[in-house]
Amino acid sequence: GENVEQHPSTLSVQEGDSAVIKCTYSDSASNYFPWYKQELGKRPQLIIDIRSNVGEKKDQRIAVTLNKTAKHFSLHITETQPEDSAVYFCAAMEYGNKLVFGAGTILRVKS
């Protein structure tokens, strides 16, 4: 089955700096890659996703890139703000339409 590895496990940045979280996946048949944000005490919520026929997608300050050959994808957050502090999860959708999640990255934005 699919295996998703996520790095780093924790990330601290200064407000205004950029943050990058990277994930690798093992199953070349996976074709959908969402990113979820989980604020403290809250439920995970989708913030951006990308499909395997697209190399990059942007939504205001966040962007996701996908390298199918290398089987990795990354989340980029620019101009970070304190409200970006949260746990971020990447995921890959494997055969059977099941999501396999990475272990998560705790992002702390210091003001």
Partner 1 sequence: DADVTQTPRNRITKTGKRIMLECSQTKGHDRMYWYRQDPGLGLRLIYYSFDVKDINKGEISDGYSVSRQAQAKFSLSLESAIPNQTALYFCATSMIRGSYNEQFFGPGTRLTVL
Q: Which residues contact partner 1 by CB under 8 A?
A: 1, 6, 9, 32, 34, 42-46, 49, 51, 89, 93, 96-104
Q: Of 26 and 78, which has the nearer Cβ to partner 1?
A: 26
Buried b / exposed e along 25-54 (16+ C-beta atoms within 10 A) = bebeebeebbbbbeeeeeebeebbbbebee
CA distance 108 to 110: 6
CB of 49 to partner 1, least distance (A): 7
CB of 89 to partner 1, least distance (A): 6
CB of 96 to partner 1, least distance (A): 8
Q: Of 23 and 109, which has the nearer Cβ to partner 1?
A: 23
Q: Of 77 and 93, which has the nearer Cβ to partner 1?
A: 93
CB of 5 to partner 1, least distance (A): 10
> How many C-alpha atoms does 74 have within 13 Å on its Cβ side?
13
Distance of CA 36 to CAs 49, 69, 88, 91, 103, Å? Answer: 9, 23, 6, 8, 12
